[in-house]
């Protein structure tokens, strides 16, 4: 333990299992005191259980670090306020927020219910805002703070995940703006798109979908899954790094973190343009766009013949 985060206090949401648990242990290993938030529900967001958060607190205490459990729901504005208060009341400060809690309600868009849309947006996008909103008032007064948000490569487009990908790409936009709102106060906000083997990814449905899309099965599919979904512990060192003083100038960025691979994403920019002096006519666009802006573009899912 190098104790880079000695004296710091970290709040990690969804820290009872999977990636959040590993982030909590890794931050504690660097000397941070930890608020282990987890509602403890099922993958689809139903139910609640205090055991996951309690167990991680026990693990952290066994390491000789300090931690406290919190069971609030990130989807609640007041719940997020209580999480921050929990850090202040028990440890006297808050330095790090890792927004990580998440659920899934996958469905093709034409079958998706309003409730499935709302729940996923509430937990991921509202959850990130709720916690950042309350943490940022403390960070601003302190003139320091770190926020690490959790997006997903699904935000770049993933079949059957309209709610999840909308929320996850919303988190990237939120990250860019929080970086601009808060940077002047010595606060940074960055996002990761992780990839790891957890209960969210090691499901029979996902395995079958990968097998179908890659055209592999049996032992080949098992090996492929192990290569893509490596243990969640692999993601946490980069999250910890983003919380250190060494990362003070990294703000508003998005990284892919998968096993030993870390990638910095480019920021969107124009890649082709067309201009006219007045207003384009539809006839002009029909003639020009296919051979200019749209030239070389591929339809990700062309119509089935
Ligand atoms: N595992 C991956 O490969 C992967 C890929 C991309 C993104 N992610 C994202 O990483 C994050 C963690 O995912 P994971 O794979 O560890 O999943 P996980 O299901 O193992 O862990 C998520 C935790 O969040 C908690 N949680 C859910 N809703 C909550 C709420 N409303 N309030 C508080 N806690 C809540 C759950 O109880 C659970 O312990 C999620 O945001 C997920 O979308 C994961």
The model's pLDDT over 67-105, given as tens digits with 9 standing for 90+, comes to 999 999 999 999 999 999 999 999 999 999 999 999 999
The CATH number of the structural domain formed by 9-196+231-264 is: 3.40.50.720
Catalytic member of 164, 265, 270, 275:
164
The rounded Å distance from CA 19 to ligand 1 centre is: 7
* Mean pLDDT along residues 21-42: 98
Active site residue 270: no
* Mean pLDDT along residues 139-168: 97
Residue 285 has pLDDT above 70, yes or no: yes
Residue 305 has pLDDT above 90, yes or no: no
Residue 179: its pLDDT value, please? Answer: 98
CA distances from 96 to 24, 106, 153, 222 (A): 11, 31, 24, 36
* Mean pLDDT along residues 176-188: 98
- The residue whose two tokens read 């949401």 is 13
HSE (side-chain half, CA atoms, 13 Å) at 59: 21
Rounded-to-integer distance, Cα 80 and Cα 128, Å: 9
Ligand 1 in reach of 39 Cβ (< 6 A): yes
Q: Calculate Rg over the CA atoms of the chain.
A: 21
Q: Where does CATH 3.40.50.720 sit in the chain?
A: 9-196+231-264
Is 104 within 8 Å of 116 (Cβ atoms)? Answer: no
The rounded Å distance from CA 32 to ligand 1 centre is: 21
Ligand 1 in reach of 45 Cβ (< 6 A): yes
State the chain's mean pLDDT as an integer.
97
Rounded-to-integer distance, Cα 24 and Cα 15, Å: 6
The rounded Å distance from CA 281 to ligand 1 centre is: 48
Is 196 within 8 Å of 258 (Cβ atoms)? Answer: yes
Ligand 1 atom with minimal separation from the 122 CA: 31
Residue 1: its pLDDT value, please? Answer: 58
């Amino acid at each position: 333990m190098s104790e880079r985060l000695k004296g710091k206090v970290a709040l990690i949401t969804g820290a009872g299992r999977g990636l959040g648990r590993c982030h909590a242990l890794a931050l504690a290993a660097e000397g941070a005191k930890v608020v282990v938030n987890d509602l403890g529900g099922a993958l689809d967001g139903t139910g609640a259980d205090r055991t996951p958060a309690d167990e991680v607190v026990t693990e952290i205490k066994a390491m000789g670090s300090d931690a406290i459990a919190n069971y609030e729901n990130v989807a609640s504005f007041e719940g997020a306020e209580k999480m921050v208060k929990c850090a202040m009341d028990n440890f006297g400060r808050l330095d790090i927020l890792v927004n990580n809690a998440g659920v899934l309600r996958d469905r093709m868009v034409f079958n998706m219910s309003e409730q499935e849309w709302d729940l996923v947006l509430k937990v991921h996008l509202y959850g990130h805002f709720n916690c950042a909103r309350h943490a940022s008032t403390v960070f601003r007064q302190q003139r320091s703070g770190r926020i690490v948000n959790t997006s997903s490569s699904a935000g770049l487009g993933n079949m059957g995940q309209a709610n999840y990908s909308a929320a996850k790409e919303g988190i990237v936009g939120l990250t860019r703006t929080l970086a601009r709102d808060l940077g002047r106060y010595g606060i940074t906000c960055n996002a990761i798109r992780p990839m790891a083997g957890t209960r969210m990814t090691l499901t029979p449905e996902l395995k079958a979908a990968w097998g179908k899309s890659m055209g592999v099965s049996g032992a080949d599919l098992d090996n492929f899954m192990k290569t893509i979904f490596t243990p969640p512990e692999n993601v946490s060192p980069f999250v910890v790094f983003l919380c250190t003083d060494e990362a003070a100038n990294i703000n508003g960025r998005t990284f892919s973190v998968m096993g030993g691979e870390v990638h910095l994403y480019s920021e969107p920019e124009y890649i082709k343009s067309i201009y006219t002096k007045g207003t384009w006519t539809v006839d002009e666009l029909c003639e020009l766009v296919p051979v200019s802006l749209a030239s070389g573009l591929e339809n990700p899912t062309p119509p089935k013949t």
